[in-house]
């Protein structure tokens, strides 16, 4: 789960990190009030969307008067901001963050993330801040410093001082980095974060070290431990289909092919995708029903797949066992056909608990479908039904 910049900064402030003064606003009038509360004569108005590169596309604007604040906020709120990370569709800006401006002397990069290869938390730092770290990795890989933190020992001062020295920060700044990284690590571990990225981390003209932009992401699987974080979710920034499938409790990933897949279990779902491709077809999706799937969840999975105009056939590969019985799968299929209709060829392969009861339900429903017990045969029939080998 991603959150907005202003939310990430509020979290860091609670963990002892010094951040520039700022307030979020949903209107031009509130943006002007925010600037008045901050004080001073120079501010920055920032569009709040879950995407980077805002500055390059007009989403971050300096202001030197309250009139500027109103103009920028009025212009940004309600607009579709397009950046390389949003894609051509862009994202609608619903609020702006009015922040105290500062004189920038140096821009650095600092992040903490989960390193999948080592299964450890990694600190990524660079003297080239303000750029996408991927571009730095391509053009100047020697300017990226990576430090791994052993989860047993945790963050030590030696890690922090090593990062500070690599960034060319000494004296007072070195001590500040040590404190900053300690706060980031505490935040990261305690809140089950998957990414905390500060880009840029700036050295100001007055010799302060400040996080100018912050991104923060959390592990969805750990949100049950953090109801306070779940409240920060902005549904307007989420894929509607993702929200729908999360509400119904199943995993779904669109893959772009023509054969919709409804499968019980992630391992079987992956094997089904491999088998379809082996027989010359292209799966339209990965869909993994939960082990406690209900009739309603199966029906909603079908409805989601049927929304995809590219789907030419649906392949059901279900093994009854544990908490999910084949008759529940059958009841869900029948419910979907009654609610929205199934207007593409349907290939069904069922095995395991209550298979016979399920087949009887399906036959009595007068639903048209192709049934086979052989998995390879089912995949071949699905490929043929969707138009044959690619």
Tens of pLDDT, residue by residue over 68-80, are 999 999 999 999 9
In sequence order, the 6+-apart residues with CB closer than 8 A to the CB of 113 are: 121, 122, 124, 194, 195, 196, 197
**pLDDT of 389 over the 80 cut:** no
Round to whole Å and give the CA distance between 247 and 259.
24
- How far is CA 223 from its chain centroid? 13
**pLDDT of 347 over the 80 cut:** yes
Which active-site residues does the annotation give?
A: 109, 197
Judged by phi (left if over 0) then psi (alpha if -120 to 50, else beta), residue 374 lies in: beta
For the structural domain made of 240-385, what CATH number should be given? 3.40.50.261
pLDDT recorded at residue 241: 64
pLDDT recorded at residue 271: 94
Per-residue pLDDT band for 320 (boundaries 50, 70, 90) equals confident
pLDDT recorded at residue 265: 86
pLDDT recorded at residue 311: 95
In this structure, which topology does domain 21-101 adopt according to CATH?
Answer: Dna Ligase; domain 1 (3.30.1490)
Cα separation of the two ends of the chain? 36
**pLDDT of 289 over the 90 cut:** no
- What mean pLDDT do residues 137-155 have? 87
Domains of the chain by residue range: 1-20+104-238, 21-101, 240-385
Greater confidence (137 vs 283) lies with: 283
Round to whole Å and give the CA distance between 382 and 318.
15
Greater confidence (95 vs 247) lies with: 95
pLDDT recorded at residue 331: 94
**pLDDT of 157 over the 90 cut:** no
- What mean pLDDT do residues 290-307 have? 88
Q: Which CATH class is domain 1-20+104-238?
A: alpha beta
pLDDT recorded at residue 294: 86
Per-residue pLDDT band for 246 (boundaries 50, 70, 90) equals low
Per-residue pLDDT band for 238 (boundaries 50, 70, 90) equals confident
Per-residue pLDDT band for 53 (boundaries 50, 70, 90) equals confident
């Amino acid at each position: 789960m991603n959150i907005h910049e202003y939310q990430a900064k509020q979290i860091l402030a609670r963990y002892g990190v010094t951040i520039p003064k700022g307030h979020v606003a949903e209107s031009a009038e509130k943006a002007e009030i925010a600037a008045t509360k901050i004080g001073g004569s120079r501010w920055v108005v920032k569009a709040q969307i879950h995407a980077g590169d805002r500055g390059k596309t007009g989403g971050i604007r300096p202001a030197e008067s309250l009139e500027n604040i109103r103009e920028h906020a009025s212009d940004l709120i309600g607009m579709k901001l397009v950046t390389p990370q949003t894609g051509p569709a862009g994202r609608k800006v619903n609020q702006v963050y009015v922040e105290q401006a500062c004189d920038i002397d140096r821009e650095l990069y600092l992040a903490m993330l989960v390193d999948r290869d080592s299964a450890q938390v990694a600190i990524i730092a660079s003297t080239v801040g303000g750029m996408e770290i991927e571009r730095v990795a391509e053009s100047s890989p020697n300017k990226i410093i990576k430090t791994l933190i052993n989860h047993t020992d945790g963050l030590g001062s030696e890690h922090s001082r090593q990062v500070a020295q690599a960034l060319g920060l000494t004296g007072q700044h070195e001590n500040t980095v040590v404190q900053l990284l300690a706060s980031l690590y505490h935040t990261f571990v305690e809140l089950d974060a998957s990414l905390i990225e500060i880009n840029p981390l700036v050295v100001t003209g007055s010799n302060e070290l400040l996080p100018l932009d912050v991104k923060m992401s959390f592990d969805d699987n750990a949100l049950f431990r953090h109801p306070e974080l779940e409240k920060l979710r902005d549904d307007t920034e989420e894929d509607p289909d993702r929200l729908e499938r999360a509400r119904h409790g199943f995993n779904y990933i669109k893959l772009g092919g023509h054969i919709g897949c409804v499968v019980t279990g992630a391992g079987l779902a992956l094997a089904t995708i491999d088998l379809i491709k082996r027989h010359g077809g292209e799966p339209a999706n990965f869909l993994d029903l939960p082990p406690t799937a209900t009739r309603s969840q199966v029906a909603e999975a079908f409805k989601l797949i049927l929304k995809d105009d590219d789907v030419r056939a649906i392949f059901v590969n279900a093994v009854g066992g544990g908490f999910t019985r084949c008759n529940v799968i059958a009841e869900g299929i029948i419910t979907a056909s009654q609610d929205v209709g199934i207007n593409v060829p349907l290939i069904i392969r069922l095995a395991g608990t209550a298979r016979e009861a399920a087949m009887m339900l399906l036959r009595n429903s007068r639903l048209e479908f192709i049934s086979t017990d052989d998995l390879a045969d089912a995949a071949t029939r699905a490929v043929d039904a969707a138009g044959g080998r690619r």
